[in-house]
Amino acid sequence: MATGVDRRRAEFKRYKEDVESRGKPFFPYAMWHDTVMSLVVVLLAIGLACIWYFDSGEDPEDVGILGPRYTAEADPGTVSFIPRPDWFFFFLFYLLRIFKWPESVVLGTVGIPTLCLILLLALPFLDVRPERRILRRPVALVAGVLVIISMGVLTYKGATAEEGGAAGGDVVEQWMTAGDLPEEARPGAELVAESGCLNCHTYRGAGSSNFGAPDLTQIGAQGQGVDFFHRYVANPRDFGNTVMPVYESLGEENLDAIATFLDASKNP
């Protein structure tokens, strides 16, 4: 009776015999393919390096298609830089954004990645059927497709994830022009850009969306009026919002400016 082990050994023996009798020498047949692919890899590396270098400049701000040559020197005391990992960690990075509750953070940082690594290592022991054709391995096919899709989606979302935090100075100019805002809205625009509002709200593509905070690009279009925005931003608790910070301490003048800006933000 052929047990599983015997059958596998028999198949491997057949394999060895087939290769001996009908196989071709590695050099030059297979090695030719390998060499061509390796040339492609080397040319890609050189090509990417050239594009990256010639499309950027010595200044860290001089950014090309493939990014800057380097950013500013490390400053452990910064208050304005927003960390990003290398692109191949974007899937982990976005996983962290999914697990927003303090109790669940461990799942996203170490739980899921560790579990996936264990499954990866144990794969040959989980799948012991000898069948190798993919269309006859439904579990493997589904698992493989799911992994590829989820890693692809996570990486894409990580790459396009909006950056919260204080936006740079030119962005205000862009907002004023794109939204056709009156000049009196400018002080409020500057305040909103630098006061951390963009950590939770988005505005014309800047900022990041967290905790259900609405996009503010056209927040004034509903006609709630300057006074409404002033009171809301001063104390969101009065309106049932328990997540947004209370900005009363900014002072009347600043709150007026912000409210004017928000009310003027009506245009798409």
Partner 1 sequence: MATTTTPPRRKPPSRASVAINYPLDWLEERSGLVGGVKYFLFRKVPGDTNWMQTLGSATLTAFLIQAVTGVVLAMYYKPSPNEAYASIVHITNDVTLGWLVRGMHKWGASLFIILMFLHMGRVFLFGAYKYPRELNWIVGALLIPIGLFEGFTGYLLPWDQTAYWATVVGININGTAPFLGPFIAQFLQGGAEIGPDTLSRFYSLHMLLLPGAIIGLILLHLYLVVRLGVSSPPWSKEAAGMERPEDVQSGNGRPGLTRPTRRGGDA
Partner 2 sequence: MDPHGPEHRPHVPSPSLWPVGFAIGVAILLTGLVVGWWIVALGGIIAVVFAFLWIRDIGSETRAAAEPELVEGAAPVAPGEPVALPLTADDDIERFPRSKFLEASTIGVGAVIGGLVTLPVLGFAVLPAFSATEDHNIDVGGVDEFPEGEWRIVTFLQNPDEGEVSRRTTFIRYNGQLDGDPSFTIIANNCAHLGCPVQPSGPIADEDKQEDEIEGQVITRIPAQPAAFSCPCHGGAYDLEGNRTAGPPVRALDRFAFAINGGRLVLTSRYSVGTVEGEGKDAVITKYGQVPPGVHVDGPEQFLYPIEPPN
Residues between 12 and 51 that touch partner 2 (CB under 8 A):
none
Choice from 84, 168, 237, 243 touching partner 1 (CB under 8 A):
84
Asked if 100 is part of the footprint of partner 1 (rule: CB under 8 A), the reply reads: no
247 touches partner 2 (CB under 8 A): yes
The total of other beta-carbon atoms located within 10 Å of residue 123's CB is 11
The values of phi and psi at residue 20, to 5°, are -65, -40
Task: Give the C-alpha separation, 32 to 264, whole Å.
Answer: 66
Residues 62-81 that bind partner 1 (CB under 8 A): 69-76, 78, 81
Q: How far apart are CA 91 and CA 89, in angstroms?
A: 5
188 touches partner 2 (CB under 8 A): no
Nearest to 216 by CA among 238, 239, 185: 185
Q: Give the residue with the Cβ less far from partner 2, 174 or 210.
A: 210
The first and second tokens of residue 64, run together, are 């090309």
**Which listed residue (78, 135, 160, 180) binds partner 2 by CB under 8 A?**
78
Handedness of CA 73, 76, 77, 79 (dihedral sign): positive
- Pick 55 or 163: Cβ nearer partner 2: 163
Q: Which of 143, 163, 218, 266 binds partner 2 (CB under 8 A)?
A: 163
Q: Residue 79 and residue 67: Cα distance in Å, rounded?
A: 22
Backbone angles phi, psi at 203, to 5 degrees: -145, 115
125 contacts which partner out of partner 1, partner 2, none, CB within 5 to 8 A by kind? partner 1
Residues lying near partner 2 in the complex (CB under 8 A): 74-83, 96-97, 99-106, 109, 163-166, 191, 194-200, 208, 210-211, 243, 245-251, 254
